[in-house]
Structure 1
Amino acid sequence: MTQKILIVGGGIIGASFALHLAEAGADVRLLDAEKTVGGIATPNSWAWINASWGNPPDYFRLRQESMRQWRDLDRRVPGLSVNWCGGLLWDMAEADLLAYAKERNAQGYEVKVVKGDKVRALEPQLAAPPAIAVHVPGEGAVEPVHAVERLLTTARAKGAEVLQGTGVRWLIEKKGRITGVMTEEGDLDADIVVLAAGTASARLLKDVGKELKLDQPPGLLVHTEPAAEMLKGLVMAPELHMRQTPEGRIVAGTDFGGTDPGDNPQGAADELFAKVQASLMGGDTLKLSHYTVGFRPTPPDGVSAIGAVPGLEGLYLCVTHSGITLAPALGAFGAAEILGQGRNPLLQPFAPDRLFATS
């Protein structure tokens, strides 16, 4: 019998689940509280696809696999258009930079140490290029809202239904099982509910007696008006991460997660934009368009939480900060597990049980 599955959350994670479940023949309905495509966190992402530094081995392997799956999606999802532009990085001490390159190359993740003219060739318009950096040619970026739209369009073509502007008020629980959700328009029943609602997941779980440990750090990004090409790829400089979109906007934060805006976001945006201008030759011609502040759903240990919620049958949770990088793998592996094909070994370290208080 075809399983009826409700996905709560219209960001990149929910869109990936919708696509993979629809491709497998499930009866899929995705609910997005927002009236515009993309959810809450996804549109405010710097949208870097990577398995870069600072990841423990299990998480690195999951991210590396998801990068491979992004390439597969790029081939089979019409118009997805991942920008495999590579990344130039020097936001750590030289000794750490060299150790990072050595470690990742040993793991099969190509990282090239570059100096002098090679740095200049990669990014000719840097005002003060570093003496040494690393270049990771296999990294990329997507335009996050566009990517969600493309994934959902393909999911619809496979039979999924997408309900935009349909918020979930609460999860419906009967005798320890989640049987559906209550929306503003009424209740919807399901065999499985996939909770991919980012920071809203904690509120929905609290209503059914589950305290989810979840951080929500803010991240401010500045977006310039469209300009002529100034960046060829991703740039990760000390206290300044930048990329340029296909339409010419430079998107920047103090790191890939954005900038903590404090109590003066406009002031933080102006300061950050000044750094962008100073970092690029011709940067004085750039104009600030706007800034965004996103709240990133982040488990306290910094890695994904995906799997069945303990003590609540019929509820499958996926919450992660690294949504852009990990969406393809989490959606594919999660869909397979939901449909009874077993749990992928790459997900084993990331069960959500650790995020719930134990009595």
Structure 2
Amino acid sequence: MAKPKNVVVVGAGIIGASIAWHLARQGAAVTVVAEKSGGVATPASFAWINASWGNPEFYFRFRRYAMEGWQRLAKELPDIGVNWCGSICWDMSLEDMETYTTQYGRWGYGIRRINRDDVAALEPYLSQVPAIALRIAEEGVVEPVAAAQRMLAGAQARGARLLYGANAQGLLQEGNRITGVATTFGALQADHVVLAAGAGAAVLAKTAGVTLPVETPPGLIVHSRPTEKRLNGLVLAPELHMRQTAEGRIIAGADFGGRDPGEDQQAAADRLFTKLRTMLKGADDLALDFFTVGYRPTPKDGFPIIGKAETHEGLSVAVMHSGVTLAPAVGLLLSREILSDKPEERLTPFRLSRFG
């Protein structure tokens, strides 16, 4: 019997957790290195699962494939907590809504126009109801930290080592081959290393001379104290995207990723939360609990970087915004590529080499 491939995954957010789960499920010897379970960017995610507006068709198809991956994950890990609650959207012009409906409908997305009465029936607590909106019933949400931790626990049950509190300091290499990771716990040797460390991936890649063209724009998300059920699904209104979490918190951003709060983060959070309260009936008792500012790892062309690094053997990269939507697809495809040593065709558009 062949010896299991020894893979070190750097990062325990939603992407690193998915990669670890899929590797361990296929028999790899996995070690996860991370500051903490659940990662750094993942707790600040809006956690919307979608193949939504503004994407070219090839990326829409990949996101739709990833959405199907969440259905698969829910069967593999039944308590992972996916909620296919659907969305209501009116955060664009009527012309853009028409384009969105026509184009995405042609691609097979379950999108339809609804009127004011439909919106009020779906979300009776809304105080501001649009005359026209779009309904996408197949979209959903997941509680991202809990989902990541469930995948990590699944990987651990299949033999993975989880090293929390171990900061990765650099890549180890011999010639053009990556041989492991230097950490605060010491050197970890590996047959293969995966960088899934979000905003920190670029710094680690640079230690081996690999440049990741990634930006890290900040995004503000406000979190209410737990409250009674007030939202049934995702509400994507102009300048305010919101949903209610499994524990009853209403979370919101100026858009799904949150926007730069500027220098006075508390003031920006207070303004955003005031807007949230005005959108809901009977919200006098709704209180801000805390806010997060997440630094979203975003490749400069807006599309994910996924796959083996062509210039270095033994190294793969998985860095992206929209990590929650894409996590199941990235974990499955990248783990297959690593363990088979054969390129996955679906990852072709997302390789680092496209940047030259």
**If the length of structure 1 is used for normalisation, what is the TM-score?**
0.97
Contact 1:304–1:318 (CA under 8 A) maintained in structure 2: yes
Partners of 1:78 and 1:152 lie apart in 2 by 14
How far 1:114 sits from its partner (Å)? 0.2
1:152 corresponds in structure 2 to 152
1:123 corresponds in structure 2 to 123
Q: From the superposition, tell whether residues 113 and 341 of structure 1 become closer, same or farther in structure 2 (CA, over 3 Å).
A: farther
Q: Which amino acid aligns with 2:332?
A: A
Deviations 1:22-52 (A, max 9, x none): 1111111111123xx2111111100000000
Q: Map 1:14-53; keep pairs closer than 5 Å.
A: 14-34=16-36, 37-53=37-53
1:310 corresponds in structure 2 to 310
Q: Which amino acid aligns with 1:117?
A: D
Q: Which amino acid aligns with 1:213?
A: P
Q: Which amino acid aligns with 1:99?
A: T
Residue 298 of structure 2 aligns to a residue in which SS?
A: coil
Partners of 1:15 and 1:123 lie apart in 2 by 33
Contact 2:7–2:191 (CA under 8 A) maintained in structure 1: yes
Deviates more, 1:73-82 or 1:318-327: 73-82
Q: Map 1:103-182; keep pairs closer than 5 Å.
A: 103-182=103-182
Deviations 1:129-173 (A, max 9, x none): 000000100001111110011111111112211111111111101
Residue 283 of structure 1 aligns to a residue in which SS?
A: coil
Deviations 1:86-108 (A, max 9, x none): 00000001121122112111111
How far 1:297 sits from its partner (Å)? 0.2
Partners of 1:117 and 1:311 lie apart in 2 by 57
Q: Map 1:289-328; keep pairs closer than 5 Å.
A: 289-328=289-328
- Residue 6 (structure 1) aligned to one of 5, 8, 26: 8
1:233 corresponds in structure 2 to 233
Q: Which amino acid aligns with 2:18?
A: S
Deviations 1:307-340 (A, max 9, x none): 1113211111111101000000011000011111
Segments of structure 2 that go 5 or more residues without pairing to the other structure are none
Segments of structure 1 that go 5 or more residues without pairing to the other structure are none
Residue 285 of structure 1 aligns to a residue in which SS?
A: coil
* Percent identical: 49
Contact 2:14–2:144 (CA under 8 A) maintained in structure 1: yes
2:60 corresponds in structure 1 to 60
Q: Which amino acid aligns with 1:158?
A: R
1:273 corresponds in structure 2 to 273
How far 1:341 sits from its partner (Å)? 5.9
Question: How many residues in Structure 1 have an aligned counterpart in Structure 2?
Answer: 354
Q: Which amino acid aligns with 1:5?
A: V
Deviations 1:41-73 (A, max 9, x none): 111100000000011111111100010010111
Partners of 1:134 and 1:353 lie apart in 2 by 37
Partners of 2:353 and 2:146 lie apart in 1 by 33
Runs of 4 or more, structure 1, over 3 Å off, are none
Deviates more, 1:171-180 or 1:72-81: 72-81
Q: Does 1:218 align with 2:218?
A: yes
Partners of 2:342 and 2:181 lie apart in 1 by 25
1:260 corresponds in structure 2 to 260
Deviations 1:272-299 (A, max 9, x none): 0000000010122200000000000000
Partners of 1:240 and 1:281 lie apart in 2 by 16
Deviations 1:208-229 (A, max 9, x none): 2222211100001000001111
Partners of 1:50 and 1:128 lie apart in 2 by 24
Q: Which amino acid aligns with 1:13?
A: I
